Chains A and B, each alone.
Chain A
Amino acid sequence: MDNSINILLPLTKSQTSLWLVDKLNPNEPINNVPYAFYIDGTLEPSVFRKAFQELIDTTDVLRTVIIEEDGTPQQLIKDVFPFRLQYFEFSDISSSNVDNWLQERSERIFDKSEQLFDSVLIKLSPDRFIWYLNLHHIITDASSTVILFDKLSEIYGCLIDNTSTQNIPSYAYKNFIDFEIEERIENKNVINYWNSEADKYIEKPKLYGEKTKQEPTTKSNRVELELSRSEFNELKAVINQPGFKSWNDNLNIFNAFATLLFSYLFKVSGEENLTFGAPIHGRVRKSFRSTIGLFIEVFPISVNIDENDTYYTLYKKVQDATNHYLKFGITGTSSPKLNRSYNTIFNYINVSFSNFNGYNTTVKWIHPNYADSEHKLRFHVFDFNRTGVLKLVFDFNDDIVKSSRLNEVPIHFRNVYNAFIQDVNNPIAQTSIIGPQEVNSFLDLRLTENIYPNNVLEVFNSFVKSRPNAVIIQSEEGVLTFRELNKKANQLANYLINTGVVKGVNIALYNYRNTEYIIGLLAIMKTGGTFIPISSDQPKERVEYIITNSDCSLVLTQGSLKQNLERIKTPSIDLIAIRENLKNESSELFENQPKINDTAYILYTSGSTGNPKGVIISQGALTNYIFWAKNYYGISEKTILPLFTSIGFDLTITSTLLPLITGGKLILYTEPKFGPDMSLMKVLGENLVNTIKLTPSHLSLFQDKDMRYSSIDKIIVGGEDFKASLGHAITKAFSGAVTLYNEYGPTEATVGCIVSEYNPKKHQEGSIPIGTPIANMHAYILDKYKNLVPNGVVGELYLSGSSLADGYLKLEELTTNKFIENPFVKNAKMYHTGDLARINGHGEYEYLGRVDEQIKLRGYRIELADIESNLTHFKGVNECAVVLVRNKKEYIPEESVINCTECGLPSNYPQTDFDEYGVCNLCNAFKGYKDKAQKYFKTEEELKSILTTNTENNPSYDCLSLLSGGKDSTYILAQLVGMGLKVLAFTLDNSYISNQAKANIDRIVKKLNVDHIYGATNHMNEIFIDSLNRHQNVCNGCFKTIYTLSTKIAMDKQIPFIVTGLSRGQFFETRLTEELFWNENLNVKKIDETILEVRKLYHREDDAVKDLLEVSMFEDDEVFDKVQFVDFYRYSDVSLEDMLKYLEDKVGWVRPTDTGRSTNCLINQLGIYVHKKEKGYSNYSFPYSWDVRLGHKTRDESLEEINEYIDEEEVKRIMNEIGYEESDPFENEDRLVAYYTGDNSISSKDLKKYISQKLPAYMIPSRFKFLDEMPLTKNGKVDKKTLQGLNSEQLELETSYLAPRNEIDELIEGIWKEVLRLKKIGIQDNFIALGGHSLAAIRVTSRINEELGMEIPLNKVFNLPTIEEYSNYIEKTMLEYLEN
C-alpha cells in the first residue's frame, strides 16, 4: 500500500524532458494523453464517483502535482487529494456531438501545480456511458492507462458487490523514482555515450522536403491506416521466416515496422542516414508492471540505408540497431538533448484493455491535435487487444504535412508496406510510393506538338509588311526600321548565298552586340543556316574550338576579332568591311521557310571534358519558347528591350528575338573592346527600356537605387537562383510598380521552361520558387532510381516536351545519357538536368541547387570539372579538384546579434550557445566551477607578505610596477608605494599614448615620488602588424613587448617582482581556462605551476616580438625564478567606485579625454576595428564578459565600452602610418579554389597564366593549393566538402591537407577543432600556425589528458606541433604503458 504523507521528489529524466517541452510551449496541450472509454452497461454514477476517489487515494501519481523552485521542477505527492468526478447526461450539454465535446475538453491545458488529470463520466443512454480520462503525460504512459482502467474496474466491482477493496494491490511510483536515480548514478558512462550520440544526429531528415522553420508550430494532424487481419498476417508470414527471428514475437513486429518506417522515411526525405526515437517500457521489475506512472523513456535507433539495400538487408540492419538500442536504453540515461536529437517517434503499443466490470468496452485514444514541435512525425502502431487488426497512426506536424495533403501519407506508407510483403528481396530504392493522383499532377499538362504555328522569321516578315517604318533597332550608330533591317538582312543573305552558303550549314557569329550582329543573325536564318553566337570576350582557344568543333563553313565577324581566327582555316567575313559591297546586293530574297526540325542555333556551354559543348536547338524548340514568352510576359509592339548581356549566354536569346516577333524595339548596348562592360549601368542611366531580362547578380546591382522614376515595369530574371530577399528589395526600389518573373531553364531546354511570377506576399523566405512548367513542357521530379517522388520531396529535375534541345553536337554518348527515353510519355525524350527540385505546398517547383558540381558564380554557369580537366593538362599536375568556397565569414548580421542576458557576451562569439533564458554556455559552465575558481583569488594581506618579505636583500627596487597610465595601473602603483615598497614604474611608449595620459603618468610618478622608465622599441610597427595578423588586435603585441622589456630591466636591476594590472576578466583571457578547474580536488599550486609553464611557452612562441627583441634571457628557465609576475588584482577586489575615489583624493588622476574613448591608447581602436571586421565582434567582448561574470563590471558598463564609437577615418590613417594592409574586400566573396597533386614545385603564377589562356576570366580560380594527397570520401570520391571547409588561414599554410589516419588522430583533431574553432584540420598542420597559443595549449592538453586518462606535459603540443606527431607520441606512450 502507498502510505506516504506529502513528499517532495525530483523528476525522472523522462519527466524532465516532458516538463521542458511544456516549458517551451506553455500554451498548447502537447502532453495531454486523453482517452474515452465507451462502456456498454448500466453504470451507477454515484458508485463510479466513489470508486474514482478511491483510485486517487491509492494511486500516488494522481495525487501528484509539479512545483517549481528556482526554475527546478519537483513533484509533490500529496497525502490527500479530494476530487469530485463530474457526471452528466450528454443531452445536458450544448455541444453538437460527443466527439466535438471530447475534442475540446482534451485540449484543456493542465495547471501542473494544481492537478495532472481530468476525468468526467458521461451518460449517453441508460446503458451506454463514456468515461473520459485525460492524464498529463508526466504521470502516465500506455501501460499505465491499462493498469488504471483495470484498477478502477476492480474497485467499482467491489463497491457494487459490497466487498472490500483492501486486497487490490497498489504500488507507489516513488519506488521507480528511487530506482531511476540509482540507475542514473550507476550508468554515467551510458549517459555520456548518449550525449555523444546526440551530437551525431544534428542533421535531421527533411520529411517531405520541408525545412524546419524558425518558429515551428506544435499543431499536429492525424491520419490513420488500418491493416486488416489478412494483411497483418501476410507481414507475420514474412517475419516468421528463418533469418528474421528475434527473441520474441513482439520484437519481431517491432523490427518489421521499424524497417517499414525507415524505408518510408528514406522515401519521403531522400536521406540515407536516418534516426527515430522509440520508447523503452522501463517496467523492468515485476512490481513496476503494475505501477501507474511514466516509465517509458525514449531512445534513438539509427540506420544507414544504401542504394543496394533490400527490405531484408535493411531488416537485418534494424535488428542490430535495435539490439544496440536495447542494450544502452537504460532507465535514467536519456536527456532532453537526446530527446530532441531526432524528429520522428515510433511507438509500438500492444496493450490490451479488458471489459469494465464485465461490460463491453471500447477504447478511443483522442489526439489532442498538438505535439512537441521537435517531433515532426509520430508514428504509432496500435495493436490493441490483439485483435489481429492493426491501426497505424501518423501524427504529422502541420509545418510538414498540412491537413489538405494528409491523405497522401497512408498511400505512401502502404506502397512501402506492399513492396515489403510482396518480396522482401525487393530493393528499397526501386519502390515507387506515390499514388495515381500525384502521378497525374506531373502529367496533366498535355505535350501537344507545336501549338504555335509560326516560326520567328515568318512573324518578323509580317511586321516588315505591317509596320515597315517602325523602329526595330536603336543603337549608338542610329536606328533601323523593320524595312531597313529586313533589307540589310536580305542583302547579307544574298551575299552569303553568293559565297556558297546553303541551307543547313553552320555559321559562327563571332561579334559584338551591334547592328551587324542582328543583321547577321537574321541573314543566317533567312538562308536556312544555323547560327552559332560567340561573344567577343571569349579567349582565343575557346573561339577556335567552337568554330572547328561545329564545322562552321563560315565565320561572320568584324575588325580586330579576326586576329583570334588567324590559326584556323575556316573562312571569315568582316561585316564592317563588306558594308559597301552589300549595297550592291539585291534586297529581295527567296527565303527558305524553316521547318520545325531544322536547327535554329547551336549554343556552347561549359562542359565537363575541358571543352565547351554545343547544344543544338531546333526551330520548333525555339518557337515553343519564344512564342510562349511573348504570350506569357505580355510582350507587344510597345515593349522596348535592351540587348546588353553576352550573346553566348542563352538568357540573351529572349532579349534578342522577342522584339523581332512582337514589333517592339530593341536597344543595343555594345560592349567595349577593352575593360569592364558597364552596359547595365548605361541601360539604367538612359532609362529607355520598359522590359529587361537579366540575372539576379545583375539585378542586385540596383536594389539600393531609387527606381521609382525608371521606365522599367517588367523584369524577367533567369540564369541562377533568385532570392526572395532580392525580389523584396527590388519591389521596394520600384515602389511596387514592377512585375518580376523568375524563369528557370537550362540551355538544353531552350532558355526557360519553368516560370513564376514573384508574389511579395507569398514568397517571403529563401529562394523564389521557379513556378510551373511552360506550355508543352513537363517537369518531373525523380529520385535516383527514376521514381516520381511525392509532393514536397527533393529529387532530380527532368524535363520533357517541345522545348527540348536535339542534343549535343558530336557528343552522341553524352546526348544518349542526358536525353533519355521518357518513361511516362511514349516516343518522347526527357532531359536530365542534374538540378535538384521539389514541389512546395502551393504546387510550385522550387530549385534547390546542382546535383553534381556545376555551379553558378556571379551569374556564370561553370562546370568545375571543366576547370579541373584543363588544369590536369598542365605538365606536373596529377589530380586536381576545384571547389567553390562560399563566403567564409558567415557572421550573424550585426542587427541580429544578441548578448547574453547575464554577462553580455555577443552571440557571434564562436561556439556560443544560449539557453532558453538567453544565458550563454560560458556563464552556465562557470556556475559549475565558480566556487572552485574563487579559490584562485587571494587577499591583499597575502600580496603584502609576498612582496615585503625579503625586501632588505633587494639591491635596487622591491618591485617593478607596470604603469599604463590608466586607472587600474595607477591605483596599483599608489598602493605599492603605500606598502612602503621601493617601486620602479615602467611604461611602454608605443608612440600612441595620448598626451593627456602621458601627462597623467608624469604627474603621478612625480607625486608618488617613484622612479620611472619609458620603455620603447623601434620595431613597434612591425609588432603591431604581426599582432593584427595573428590575433586581429594590437593589444597582444603590446602586452608581449611590455613583458619582454620589463623582464629585461628587472633582470638587469635584480628586481624580484613585476606587478601587472590585468583585470580579473583578463585572467580568463590570458591565464585561466575552464579546464584548470575540472579537477575535483582543486590544487591552486598546480594551477600556478601550469600558468608558469604557459608563460615559459608564451615567451618562446615564434612571433615578431621573439624575432625582433632581445629575448635570449627566456631560453633559460632561471629567468622565471628570478623575476616573478604578480597579478595585483588576483589579491585585490577593490570596487570601481572606491578606486576612483582613492585616485582622485590621493593621486590626482584624471580620465584622459583626448582619445575619445575610455582608453588612454590611440591605436587601440585600430585593433578593435580589425577584430570586428575579421571576426565580427570586439576583442574586448570576451575579457569583459569575464569581468561581468566575476562581478567587476556591470553588464551595461561592459556593453557600453564594447560598443564605443570607432573613428574609421582615424583608423585608416593609423593603418597607413604603421603600414598595415587591410585584407582584400573580395576575400569575403565566393571564390574558386583549385587543389592539385603532383609536382609541388609548380608555381601558382604559372598555373594561373596557363589556365587564363584556356578559360574565360570568371572560371579562373583565385587560389591554387598544392596537396600531397587528395582527401577522399568513403566511396572513393574526392572529398570536396573537406576542401571547402579549409579557411583562408589554412589555405595560406605551407603544408598540405592530410586527413586523420586513425582514431587517435580523429580524437586530437576533434579537440583542436573545438579549441581553435576550425572546421577542418590536416594532420600535418602546425598548431602554432593554426593560431594555437599557450592558453590553447592548456585547453588542448587538459582535454586530451581527461579523454585518455594520461598526463601529457603541456609543452608537448609545441614540441610535437602536428596532429601526426602528437598522435604518434600518444600511441607510443600507450604501448609502453601496456607493455609494462
Chain B
Amino acid sequence: MDVKRDVLIFLKKDILEDESIRIGEQDELLTTGLIDSVNLIRTVRYLEKKFKIDIPFEDITLENFRSIHSIEYYVRGKLN
C-alpha cells in the first residue's frame, strides 16, 4: 500500500489537474493555500474511502495534514 503515491496522484489529478507539478514530501499544503479547506475535506473523504478508515474531525489538524509526509504518517498510524 503506497499511501504517499495515492495521495500524490489524488492531489495532482483530482485537485490540481497537473500531473507534472512537483510536490515535495515536506512541502506545506495548507498554509501555502495549495489546498483550501474544501479540498482538504475532499482529501479526507478520499483517504477514508481509499483506505477504509474513519477520520474523525478532531484528527483533521494542521499537524496531521500539513504535508504529504504527515498525511502518510497519519494514515499509516490509522492502518496499524
A233-260 interface with B by 8 A CB criterion:
245-248, 250-251
A1183 at the interface (CB under 8 A from B): no
A-B complex: 5 closest residue pairs judged by Cβ atoms: A326-B41, A286-B17, A323-B57, A251-B37, A286-B16
Q: Which of A119-127, A277-285, A983-991, A1365-1373 contacts B (4 or more CB under 8 A)?
A: A277-285
Smallest beta-carbon distance B54→chain A, Å: 12
Sample of 5 more A-B contacts, CB < 8 Å, known A247-B60, A285-B15, A329-B41: A248-B30, A248-B36, A281-B38, A286-B16, A323-B41
- CB-CB contacts of A303-338 with B at 8 A, as 1s and 0s? 000000000000000001001101101100000000
Instruction: List 10 contacting pairs A-B, 8 Å CB cutoff, sorted by A.
Output: A248-B37, A250-B36, A282-B38, A284-B42, A285-B15, A285-B16, A286-B17, A326-B37, A327-B45, A329-B38
Measured CA separation A491–B40 after assembly (Å): 93
- Classify the secondary structure of A's interface with B: loop
Nearest A-chain residue to B18, judged by Cβ: A286
Interfacial chain B residues near A441, Cβ < 8 Å: none
Is there contact, CB below 8 Å, between A326 and B17?
A: no
Instruction: Assess A287 versus B17: contact at CB under 8 Å? Given A248-B31, A320-B57.
Output: yes
Instruction: Give the contacting residue for B41; candidates A245, A320, A327; CB below 8 A.
Output: A327
| Pair B38/A280 contact, Cβ less than 8 Å | yes
Mark B residues whose CB is within 8 Å of A.
14-18, 30-31, 33, 36-42, 44-45, 57, 60-62, 65
Secondary structure type dominating chain B contacts: helix
Residues of A within 8 A of B33 (CB): 248
Interface of chain A residues 322 through 361 with chain B (CB within 8 A): 323-324, 326-327, 329-330
| Inter-chain contacts of A286 with B (CB < 8 A) | 15-18
Question: Which chain A residue lies CB-closest to B31?
Answer: A248
A: number of interface residues (CB 8 Å): 20
A-chain residues with CB within 8 Å of residue B36 when the two chains form the complex: 248, 250
A285 and B62 within 8 A (CB): no
- Give every chain A residue within 8 A of B31 (Cβ-Cβ): 248
Residues facing B in A263-294 (CB within 8 A) are 280-282, 284-287
Q: What's the minimum C-beta distance from B22 to chain A, rounded to whole angstroms?
A: 15
**Which of B16, B18, B37, B45 interacts with A246 by CB under 8 Å?**
B37
Docked pose: A286 CA to B39 CA in angstroms: 11
**Which residues of A approach B to under 8 Å, CB–CB?**
245-248, 250-251, 280-282, 284-287, 320, 323-324, 326-327, 329-330
CB-CB nearest in chain A for B13 = A285
Judge whether B17 and A247 touch: CB under 8 Å: no
Contact between B38 and A284 (Cβ–Cβ < 8 Å)?
A: yes
Contact indicator A323/B60 (Cβ below 8 Å): yes
Contact (Cβ within 8 A) B15 A284: yes
Q: Which residue of A lies closest to B39 (CB)?
A: A284
Cβ contacts under 8 Å, A284 to chain B: 14-15, 38-39, 42
Contacts of B45 in A (CB 8 A): 327, 330
Candidates A285, A320, A323, A329; contact of B17 at CB < 8 Å: A285
B60 cross-chain contacts in A, Cβ below 8 A: 247, 323
* Chain B residues with CB below 8 A from A324, complex form: 57
Closest-CB distance, A171 to chain B (whole angstroms)? 10
Residue of A nearest to B17 (CB): A286
Chain A residue at smallest Cβ distance from B42: A284
Cβ–Cβ contact A247 & B18, under 8 A: no
Q: How far is the CA of A282 from the CA of B37 in the complex (A)?
A: 11
A247 interface neighbour in B14, B15, B16, B37, Cβ under 8 Å = B37
Give the CA-CA distance A287 to B18 in the complex, in Å. Answer: 10
Q: Which residues of B contact A330 (CB under 8 A)?
A: 45
Who on chain B is nearest to A283 by CB? B38
Separation of A329 and B62 alpha carbons in the complex (Å): 21
B56 to chain A, nearest CB (A): 10
Q: Which residue of B lies closest to A323 (CB)?
A: B57
Contacts of A281 in B (CB 8 A): 38
Query: Contact at A250–B42, with CB atoms within 8 Å?
Result: no
Instruction: Give the complex CA separation of A280 and B41 in angstroms.
Output: 12
Q: Which residue of A lies closest to B49 (CB)?
A: A186
Chain A residues with Cβ below 8 Å from B62 are: 245, 247
Tell me the complex Cα distance, A212–B34, Å: 44
Q: How far is the CA of A324 from the CA of B60 in the complex (A)?
A: 12
Q: What are the residues of chain A within 8 A of B61 when measuring CB–CB?
A: 247
Closest CB of chain A to B17's CB: distance in Å? 4
Q: How far is the CA of A246 from the CA of B57 in the complex (A)?
A: 11
Please measure, in the bound complex, the distance between the C-alpha atom of A285 and the C-alpha atom of B17, giving whole angstroms.
7
CB neighbours (8 Å) of A287 from chain B are 17
* Closest beta carbon of chain A to B7's beta carbon, Å: 16
- Taking a contact as CB atoms under 8 Å apart, the answer to whether A247 and B39 are in contact is no
User: For residue B39, which residues in chain A have a CB less than 8 angstroms away from its CB?
Assistant: 284
Residues of A within 8 A of B38 (CB): 280-282, 284, 326, 329
Provide the residues of chain B in CB contact with A247, threshold 8 Å: 30, 37, 40, 60-62, 65
Bound CA span A286–B34, Å: 10
Q: Given the complex of chains A and B, what is the CA–CA distance between A285 and B16 in angstroms?
A: 6
- Whole-angstrom distance between the Cβ of B59 and the nearest chain A Cβ: 11
CA distance A248 to B15 in the complex (A): 18
Whether B44 and A327, one on each chain, are in contact in the complex, defined by CB atoms closer than 8 angstroms, is yes
Alpha-carbon distance between A281 and B42 when the two chains are bound, in angstroms: 13
B-chain residues with CB within 8 Å of residue A246 when the two chains form the complex:
37
A282 CA to B41 CA, complexed, in Å: 12
A330 to B49, CA, bound (A): 15
A320 to B60, CA, bound (A): 11
Chain B contacts for A250, CB-based, 8 A: 36-37
User: From residue A899, how far is it (CB to closest CB) to chain B in Å?
Assistant: 46
State the Cβ distance, B47 to closest chain A Cβ, in Å: 12
**A280 surroundings in chain B (CB, below 8 A):** 38
Could you say which residues of chain B place their CB within 8 Å of the CB of A327?
Answer: 41, 44-45, 57
Q: Kindly state the separation between the CA atoms of A326 and B39 in the bound complex, as whole angstroms.
A: 9
